[in-house]
Amino acid sequence: MTTPPTAAISYLSSSIYYRHSGRFDAGRTLITLIAGTVVALVCGGIYAYIVRYMPIVGWITFIITGGTGFALGSAMGKLLQWARVRNTTLGLAITALAGLVLVWFSWVVYIYDLLQQIKIPPTLWDCVTSPQIMWQILLDINEHGLWSIKEAKPTGIFLWAIWLVEAALLIGIPLWYVRKKLDEKAFCEACQKWCIIRPLIDLKTLPFSRAEVSRRLESKDFSVIADAKEAPKGSLMYWTVSLQGCPSCDTTQTLCIDETVLTQNKKGQWEKTIKPVVKRLLLAPEDTVAMTMAVSQVRSAHTEAALAGDTKVKDDEAAALQALNESTATAAEDSSAA
């Protein structure tokens, strides 16, 4: 076990729930900034050629736009995690910059390729270094239009609106993805490592409100877990208890509980909704031991019940779902009344 620096301990003890420290690895962040720009240039170039030479225009264009945004987002997410960025604002700022580079370069490449038809075509470098000429050409394209959709040729404000949606997707999707990615895991300040997630058990939802469960767990009362029952296989509603902690030391250890509800939609397909009940409650080493013991208590009770041939399980499940539906309906009524 590594002895963590005092700064990390005081930071950890300052809150009940884990929060990012706001720190980052300066050297790696600089590399991420450069690498992110390169990825944006490559994505922008490829995107420009696909859009320019695609034989059809329509929804497929937006799917390609979304895919390009997703490609940039997933690269930025990986880079920022590698750079150990625990500062969401910084991560989003770098991503926004990469998104802007992608949009700008896709236009430069698009116009560069269009200009290859003229007598003395410019080089790509000419296009990159002549933003004013590029802007004039863009205004010209907007005035006359370039492509048609269902025999209509979008120009003017309508074309600006399409371009705005396109840019919003190319920048917005990476931002959405990176925000999600940076919030995915806790970070151990002592070991400079991202935490790993270890699912412990699936529980039947408890007969207490979410607030009650959170309150008891916050005061380190793990009997709330020990008194629960393990969810039988194929449950339609259950709470997954997991630990999210450092793979190398026991300084950073957190408890997460997520509620999963499976519902069938009108087409008969199953849909899974996952909502956090408890998100990264900080655990001291002795809390982790108490938690693990509470979980093994539930598991052994479940095994005993299974051996005794507990047939009540299915009825309980149906009753729990019924209760959930009623409480959701009541909540909906309450909110509409308010």
Smallest separation, CB 305 to Zn ion (Å): 37
Of 231 and 291, nearer to Zn ion (C-beta) is 291
Decide if residue 246 touches Zn ion (CB under 5 A).
Answer: yes
Q: Based on CB atoms, which residue is closest to Zn ion, 86 or 204? A: 86
Taking the least distance from each CB to Zn ion, the nearer of 246 and 283 is 246
Q: How many Å apart are CA 49 and CA 245, to the nearest integer?
A: 45
Identify which range of 107-115, 182-190, 203-211, 279-287 contacts Zn ion by CB under 5 A.
Answer: 182-190
**Interaction with Zn ion in 183-202: which residues (CB under 5 A)?**
188, 190-191
- DSSP state, 208? S
Can you tell me the distance from the alpha carbon of 107 to that of 254, in angstroms, rounded to the nearest whole number?
A: 46
Strand partners, 270: 264
Stretch that binds Zn ion, among 56-64, 211-219, 242-250, 323-331 (CB under 5 A): 242-250
The β-bridge partners of 201 are: 241
Contact 185, 171 (CB under 8 A): no
Q: Please check whether residue 250 is in contact with residue 190, taking contact to mean a CB–CB distance below 8 angstroms.
A: no
Q: Return the residues of window 113-152 that contact Zn ion according to CB under 5 A.
A: none
Minimal distance in Å, beta carbon 302 to Zn ion?
32
Specify the DSSP class assigned to residue 247. Answer: S
Judged by CB under 5 A, the number of residues near Zn ion is 6
Q: Which stretch binds Zn ion (CB under 5 A): 31-39, 181-189, 194-202, 264-272?
A: 181-189
Burial class of residue 224 in the structure, from the number of CB atoms within 10 Å of its CB (0-12 exposed, 13-18 middle, 19+ buried): middle
The distance of closest approach from Cβ of residue 192 to Zn ion in the complex, given in angstroms and rounded to an integer, is 8
Question: How much is the CA Rg of the chain, to the nearest whole Å?
Answer: 27
SS3 81: helix
Give the residue with the Cβ less far from Zn ion, 70 or 82: 82
CB of 318 to Zn ion, least distance (A): 44
Q: How far is the CB of 232 from Zn ion (least distance, A)?
A: 36
Which long-range contacts does 84-87 make (Cβ < 8 Å, 24+ apart)?
84/23, 84/24, 84/25, 84/28, 84/187, 84/192, 84/194, 85/24, 85/25, 85/29, 85/32, 85/182, 86/20, 86/21, 86/22, 86/23, 86/24, 86/182, 86/187, 87/20, 87/22, 87/23, 87/24
Q: Which residues, numbered 256-315, are part of the site for Zn ion (CB under 5 A)?
A: none
Least separation in angstroms between residue 292's CB and Zn ion is 18
Q: Which is nearer to Zn ion, 170 or 255 (CB)?
A: 255
- Shortest distance in whole angstroms from residue 26 CB to Zn ion: 21
Question: Quick one: 178 or 283, whose CB is closer to Zn ion?
Answer: 283
Residue position matching structure tokens 């013991």: 293
Q: Least CB distance from residue 291 to Zn ion, whole Å?
A: 18
| Cβ proximity to Zn ion, 68 vs 252, nearer residue | 252
List contacts with Zn ion (CB under 5 A): 188, 190-191, 246, 248-249
